[in-house]
Amino acid sequence: MHSAPRLPSNSVGQLTALKIPSSHSSNTMPESKRVREAAASYVSRHTRTSNGARTLNSSMQATYIETGMYLDTQVAVKRVGKAVYLSRAILHDLRLLRDINHDNVNRFVGLCTEAGNESIIAEYCSKGSLGNLLDNDAVNLDETFRFSLMNDIIQGMCYIHSSPFHSHGRLNSSNCLVDGRMLVQIADLGLWPLRRRYLAFLDPEAEEAEIRPLLWVAPEHLREPMPVNGTPKGDVYGFAIILQEIVSRLPPYHDNASDTRSKEYTVRNNSPRYPHFSRKASRVLYEIE
């Protein structure tokens, strides 16, 4: 485990050195507090997220959130799937991540480098991803709550853009996580060498899970190699797709093509059709502008 302060390397099942703060400073909208509390109670009654909990994303594929215990605190475990070498780039990101502190950015806990257990460890968000929440038809999202979700992402994105990272690079509704307070936290910041690059469209054998994140990537970044950490403009494009999801509760480009690879090809090479919104949804978008 590598983080700050300096910690010993442990297996995922034996995370025992770092204390995770139980609360952050507040950046939420006061007028939405009552709505958040009611929504948190409702979602708790209609969803379960635990070690190996089964959830659904917009592509209707089962995904699993792996968790572990660290100083008697539940944390999220993201397997790297390869050996981790502490290169200069990774050490640089680790130094930056230890100073990231914002309600709407998922807290980095540490990096496990033990062979066979290479993992990125982060704060656990009990309500799953924003995509999971939007897919749950049992959850009623009124306009106030939707505005709160949008505001959380904007606040987190602005914080990242003003940080040494300058941009996120892979913003989508799967790495916008929802915690127990119904706050959205942007996850998967930094550590690019340990994450998959957006080259799946070049591989005809790439699986759905590898191609789907491309639907949030700006067309220019699909046509040409993008900077390692993406660009602020690319993040804004990804946020626009998330905004469409929040308003419509439909997956990206749902009316453009039938399969994900065809959708990605359309985004990269053509101008996708403007999504159709109901009159009520159009009013929400107008108020955002």
Task: Give 134-187 pLDDT, tens digit per residue.
Answer: 988 888 888 899 999 999 999 999 999 999 999 999 999 999 999 999 999 999
4 domain residue, yes or no: no
3 domain residue, yes or no: no
Closest CA to 120 of 92, 153, 104, 97: 97
22 confidence band (pLDDT: 50, 70, 90): very low
- Number of structural domains found in the chain: 1
154 domain residue, yes or no: yes
**pLDDT for residue 83:** 86
Cα distance between residue 177 and residue 136, in whole Å:
14
130 domain residue, yes or no: yes
**pLDDT for residue 209:** 60
Q: Are 170 and 188 in contact (CB under 8 A)?
A: yes
pLDDT in tens, 223-251: 777 777 889 999 999 999 999 999 988 88
Give the structural domain span for 25.
Answer: 12-288
Check whether 30 has a pLDDT greater than 80.
no
93 domain residue, yes or no: yes
2 domain residue, yes or no: no
pLDDT in tens, 46-99: 443 434 332 344 433 434 578 888 888 889 998 888 888 888 989 999 999 999
**245: domain CATH number?**
1.10.510.10
7 domain residue, yes or no: no
**pLDDT for residue 280:** 56
Q: Show contacts of 214-219: CB within 8 Å, 24+ apart.
A: 214/264, 214/267, 214/268, 215/172, 215/241, 215/251, 215/252, 215/253, 215/260, 215/263, 215/264, 215/267, 216/170, 216/171, 216/172, 216/173, 216/241, 216/242, 216/252, 217/170, 217/267, 219/267, 219/268
Cα distance between residue 123 and residue 109, in whole Å:
7
User: Could you check whether the bond before residue 252 is cis, i.e. omega within 30 degrees of 0?
Assistant: no
252 domain residue, yes or no: yes
